[in-house]
Structures are given as structure tokens and as C-alpha cells.
Structure 1
Amino acid sequence: MVRIGIVGGGQLAKMMAQEARKLGFEVAVLDPQEKCPACGLADYKITASFMDGDKIRELAEISDVLTYDIEHVNVKVLKELEEEGYPVYPSPRILEVIQDKLVQMEVMRKARIPVPKFVRADREELKEKAREFGFPLVQKTRKGGYDGKGVMVIKTEEELDKLLPADSMLQEFVNIEKEIAVMVARDQYGNVEVYPVVEMVFNEANILDFLVVPARIPEDKAEEAQEIAMRVVKALDGVGIFGIEMFLDKDGRILLNEIAPRPHNSGHYTIEACMTSQFEQHVRAITGLPLGSSELLVPAVMFNLLGEGYGKPKVVGLKEALSYPGVYVHVYGKPVVRPLRKMGHVTVVNKDLEKALEIAHKVKGIIKVVGNGS
């Protein structure tokens, strides 16, 4: 029996494990939390830091293939394991590129992927580089940023004091028409399945607020976005599922924003709306199985359930939310609520996209995950 080892035990690992178990595979996870979302589905659990090389090696030794649900892990050890012959997908070489936003953009530019204008800006020269680059601009710290963290928009010279004190990449401020994303699956033999283009709307904290699929953009632009996404994954020689986030600007340009070498928030809709979910697709790719169809079966809207307050989670409004047709609720099982923490998501499917949007906006005002304050 194949055993999949996952570095990380969060919601992505949980949904990955659900698909692995359906195919008869065993699952082992490594996560610092004693009660992580994937724990209940794992055959083996190692409680350890994502940086604990010895424990990652222990996970590899009890698994047939290694993968991960988070980028901020011990890449050095994963590279050593790969060199020793342990199957690790996607390759930790890709992870090394992705972890550094500057390197990520440099690699993509070299591969002739359309990217926004950018420059390197080390911590001690941030203000000088920003003045040279011109305003407005976007600062992205090279490492550690996610869900809007490590990003700062600087519109004028008077705002230079807002710069984050870290080695960074300065990027052009793109005049965005829509933020879009495409999931791409690629197997060990180079076969590719590309998913539909989705459009994303972000909240003030720069966390995905809701997602619409298919994206309401011209068909030629959708095809262009899919082609770029496939080229990105091919340039990385990636194996597994990849989330490719892009900008469609007001001049009609499509520019790469960021790459996620794992299942991604923008692909959650695939569970209910597509022939093969992003999670099953990832399991298939890393275990040598044929890829499934990425066909969209029905339009969908997805939104995140973000935590409100602190403490033990309580889901409010579940019964009323599920009274609407086509509503699917996923609660991740995280033991503690924090404000804006991703506690779950809701997908609404309907043959009429506008009807799906209408229901999603109603349900979004009904269902909440709140902390009990303790």
C-alpha cells in the first residue's frame, strides 16, 4: 500500500488526505500542532516543527512519497532526501525558488513569462531604491510573506516610512482590472491538465474574500491566462498541482503575480465544481497515476470562512446556510479561532453564475466561525 507523507497538517493536507484515503492510500503527516486539521485522517502523526530536519527525515523513511501543504519548511533537508533517492513532489528545488519572491520573478522572467517590472532592494537601501524605481510601487519582502503579509503599497515619497524593514523586491503598481488564477496539474511524465480561469476579489487584509468561476473575462484572455499558467509549471518542471495567480490589467496585459507549488485557496471550488478536484489531482500526480479531467461541470462561487474573535470555534448559521440549494460548507477543524484565520470555506454551485453569486452573498452574511472568548 502506498503511503503519502505530508509536511504540514493544515486544511490543505486534510483535503489531500481525504482524497488519498478514497484511493486506498495511507497518510502520514508532520505538523507542530498536536491537533491539526489532518490528524483525524492520518495513519501516522509526527509532532514537530516544519524546520526539524530529523523529523522530516523520519517522515520520509516511513513514506513512499513526500509532499507538503506549506512553503515555509526545511528545504535543505528535503533537497538532501531527494538527492538520496526519496521521491519528493513538487521538487524542493522548486520550493527554493518559490520561497524567495525575487528569485521567483527572476526565474520566470528568464523563462519569458510576462511579469511586472521589478528590482531588487536590500533592507539598507530600500528608500533609495524606491525613489529610483518611482511611485506608486509595491514592496514585497523576499521571504516569509503570505495572505497579504509582507506586502506594502507605497504611493508617494511621503509614504516611504511605511516600507517594511526587510530584504525586498520592489514591483510596479499594476493598474488591475481583475485578479485571476489558474490551477495546473502536471504529472511525472509531463502530461498537463489545466483548470478554468477564476477571478478573485480580496478583502482589506488582502485575503481572498470570494472567487468566481468561470472568470468574467473575454474568452481570448482566458485562453491566454491558461497558456501562461501551463508555461509557468513547465518552466519549473513541476510535478503536482500548482496555483498560478495573475493580474489582468486595464490595458489587457496578463502578468504573473505569484506561484503556489501545492493545492491553493483559489482551487477549492474544484471539489464540487470540477470532474477532478485539485486535491485528487495532486495525489494522482505525485503517486504516478493518470491525471483526471479538469473540466468544469457547473459554475461556482467560493468564499472563505474567516475567524471572528478568539477561542474555541463555534459555527454559527450552519442550518440556515445549508437550506439554500447548491451550498457546500467545509469546516477545517482548527482548534482555535483568531481574527481573519481561515477556518473553513463555502462553495455555491449553480448552472446560472449570477444565481450562484446571489446565493453566495446571502449565505456569506449568515454563516460565521466565531471564538468563544476563552
Structure 2
Amino acid sequence: MDQFPLPVARIGIIGGGQLGRMMAKAAKRLGCTCVVLDPTPGSPAGQVAGHQIVGDYHDPARLRELAESCDVTTFDIEDIDTETLIQLEREGNRVLPSPSLLAVIQDKLTQKQALDDAGIPTAPFVPMPEPSPEAFAKFGYPLVQKSRRGGYDGRGVSIIRSPNDYGAHLPTDSLVERFVPAAKELAVVVARGLDGDCRCYPVVEMCFRPGENVLEMLLAPANIPAETAQAATELGIRTVEVLQGVGIFGVEMFLTESGELLVNEVAPRTHNSGHHTIEATVTDQFEQHLRAVVGLPLGATDQLSPAAMINLLGAPGHRGRPVIKGMAEALAIPGVCLHLYGKAATAPFRKMGHVTVLDPDIEEAQRKAIRVRELIEISGEGHP
């Protein structure tokens, strides 16, 4: 019979945003404690964990302080000093997912090369250290340019459809890949344990806001044929297995008009496409990630109800202390589950929270989510 002293584990979380916040909540349920490293005092995750080291993700001394005070260290962001983490791992500190894997994934070019080398289908690409009209023309339009580092939530990505769009290019070390006219954009959230056990959540469909590349709505499960869902699940698992990942991974895919599946990007952490799992599945992605990195058995991923999820973004033109309008009316709608992230200040299009809507009918869940998006506005104090 196994026995665990309380706390079961002391978990270090690099990054104090909403992902870390939801992870810290799951940790408390599992009898674990958390220490958060984030440069902003009173970060969303720090509020829940109760213990925060105020410091930068690239500060070797603060990273060391975190890792040496915890049983296992994980992260909710990718822009971290991996050299320090690799050294800490060499010294016997547990860091999961592995810092060497994070180093591969945080560089979009090395990530694509690793997927390509492993035979994972992905859009054709070439390195683009110094963008130029000639280099773009040689590759061919339309194309997608991605910064090698630092891009997320639509930042660091530019779609260049013709030579006339060159002005929108990113003047940075990057890669360019073939633009894929996708019938749908899908995501598979995959968990892999220390023992290699893999569990997959049902495939979800992601609807993006045109031009901004920010997730507008997520539908779970995706409206795709069963054989496509099975193929996407198998591709998601194969992707995480070839990377030898431990923890939760968000595998984003394109489904082409001809029914082909291509892996777009992999996130080595809990993911926006898995937020609905808090209410809609047996084991949510945050608890699952902790089970994986602590070495506990993975939980069931069965979906209990269809769900639609929307991000709550800061209103355009608004900054400062958040003011939430329409909240009571939205909460009066049956099946609405509200998550506010506790961020001290709003900014245009900043992720301030999310709403998951549960309904036995996925189309009704979608209609309710659209209504919630119309109702809730997060503006800034002092603005009209």
C-alpha cells in the first residue's frame, strides 16, 4: 500500500500567469503545495499558491532558489533560461518537462526540424535568418513567417500573401513555412507520464479571430468525422512520444481541405485549448499535468459534456484596473462557468479570463458562448 506524507509534493512553477494559477488550484486538491516564480508581485498564480519568489524567468539565482526549494519544478511559459535549468537538472533537481526539450521547442525552427526529422507531418519550411523580398519570392507566396523566439498568442507570426504584403514582415531571425489553407484548426491535449503512459483528451476545434490569430472560440469535441478524430489523436500521441515529453502538451494541427493532418506547433505545457477540461472532463489538464510530473498515475480523460470555451480579452483602448460589465447577466445563463484570472490591470486583447459553457447540445453551447461574449466587457477603471 502506498503512503504519502502531506504535502505530497512541493511544486515549483516558473510563470505566474493564468496557467500557473489553475495549476496551483489543482495542486491544492492533490495535497501539494506550490512556489511560483514571477516578476510581478501578487501574480495570478502567486495569489493562489500563497508563496511567490519575485524574479525574472531568466535570473539564474531566482531559478536556482525555486528549484532547490521544491521536489519538482515545472513551468507555464516557454520563454525561460533553459541553460540554467539544464545545469540544475544535472545537479539532481527534477525539472519536467525536460529543459533540453523546452530548449528545442522554444525555438520555432528547431521545433519544426525535430518534428520533421521524426517524420511528423508538418507544413514545408525553410530557415530565414535575414528576411528579404528576394528570399520570400524564392520560397513562394502565400507564406507564413514566424519569429524563432518569443512568439505567442498571435505575436511573432505574420501571414504574407503576396509581394505587396512584404511591409508586414518580421525583421528578425525567423523561419517561413507554406501557408496551409486549413478546413479546420484542431488541437489535441496529450498527457504523458514518467512511465510513458499516454492519455489524450477528445480533439477540439479552434476558431480564431480573423487577422489577430487569437483564439476566439473552442468547441469540444470537434465537429469532425470519427476517423479524423482517431487519426488526430494518434498523431498527437506520436508527436509527444517522439519528443519524449513528460507532462501535458498542446499539439495544434491543421486539417486540410483534402483531409490531411499537419502538426502546426507544440506547446510543452498546459494549453488554452484544454481550459474546458476543468468542468467538462473527469480529470482536468492542470491536475493531469501535476500527476505526470509528480509521478502519480494519469487520470481518465473522458468528456462528461459537450463544451464551448471563449477567452475574455481586455477591451480595445482600455488599460488600468479591470471593470467587468455584464457578468451577472452572463452568469444567469445555464451552464456558464466563469474564470477570472485576478490580473491587476487590463490592456487591449490581454487574456483576463475565460468562460466555459456546458450543454448537452454543442450547437446550443456555442450559441450561449456567443451570447456571453456579447454580454461581458472588461474595460479599465476611469474609461467610459
8 A Cα contact 1:182 1:196, kept in partner? yes
Mapped to 1, the partners of 2:27 and 2:206 lie a distance apart of: 28
Task: Report deviation, 1:194.
Answer: 0.4
Partner of 1:24: 31
Give 2:367's match in structure 1, choosing from 353, 358, 367. Answer: 358
Instruction: Tell me, yes or no, if structure 1 residue 321 matches structure 2 residue 330.
Output: yes
Q: Which residue of structure 2 aligns with residue 310 of structure 1?
A: 319
Contact 1:305 1:344 in 2 (8 A): yes
Alpha-carbon shift at residue 255 of structure 1 (Å): 0.5
Give the Cα–Cα distance (whole angstroms) in 2 for the partners of residues 111 and 190 of structure 1.
Answer: 18
Aligned to 2:296: 289
Q: Distance in 2 between matches of 1:201 and 1:131?
A: 30
Using the alignment, how far apart are the partners of 2:346 and 2:148 within structure 1? 28
Where does residue 198 of structure 1 map in the other structure?
204
Shift of 1:306: 0.1
Identify the residue that residue 11 of structure 2 maps to in structure 1.
4
Deviations 1:15-40 (A, max 9, x none): 00000011111110000001200122
Q: Find 1:178's aligned residue among 173, 180, 184.
A: 184
Q: CA deviation at 1:158?
A: 2.4
> Within 1, Cα distance between the matches of 2:107 and 2:52?
29
Q: Which residue of 1 aligns with 2:351?
A: 342
Matches of 2:163 and 2:46, distance apart in 1: 49
2:284 to 277, 287, 309: 277
TM-score, reference length from structure 1: 0.98
Once the two structures are superposed, the pairs formed by residues 12-161 of structure 1 within 5 Å of their partners are 12-123=19-130, 125-161=131-167
Corresponding position of 1:371: 380
Partner of 2:254: 247
Residue 3 of structure 2 corresponds to none
Larger CA deviation: 345-354 vs 126-135: 126-135
- Other structure's SS at 1:72 match: coil
Partners of 1:48 and 1:294 lie apart in 2 by: 35
Determine helix, strand or coil for the equivalent of 2:170: coil
Structure 2 residue runs of 5 or longer lacking an equivalent are 1-6
**Match of 2:92, as an amino acid?**
G
Could you tell me how far apart the structure 2 residues matched to 1:266 and 1:340 are? 18
**Cα displacement (A) at 1:85:** 1.1
Amino acid at match of 1:319: A
Which TM-score applies when normalising by structure 2? 0.95
Report the Cα distance in structure 1 between the residues aligned to 2:85 and 2:377, rounded to whole angstroms.
38
Question: Which runs of 4 or more aligned residues in structure 1 lie more than 4 Å from their structure 2 counterparts after TM superposition?
Answer: none
Matched residue count: 373
Distance 1:333 1:61 in 2: 28
Local SS of the residue matching 1:119: strand
1:116 shift after superposition: 0.3
Q: Secondary structure at the match of 2:185?
A: strand
Does the residue aligned with 2:314 lie in a helix, a strand or coil? strand
- Answer yes or no: is the 8 Å Cα contact 1:26–1:43 preserved in 2: no
d(CA) in 2 for partners of 1:58 and 1:209? 38
CA offset at residue 84 of structure 1?
A: 1.1
Cα distance between partner residues in 2 of 1:349 and 1:130: 45
CA distance in 1, matches of 2:279, 2:335: 9
Separation in 2 of the partners of 1:184 and 1:136? 31
Unaligned runs of 5+ in 1: none
Partner of 2:271: 264
- Cα deviation digits, residues 171-225 of structure 1 (max 9, x gap): 0010110010010000000001001110011113111000001101111111111
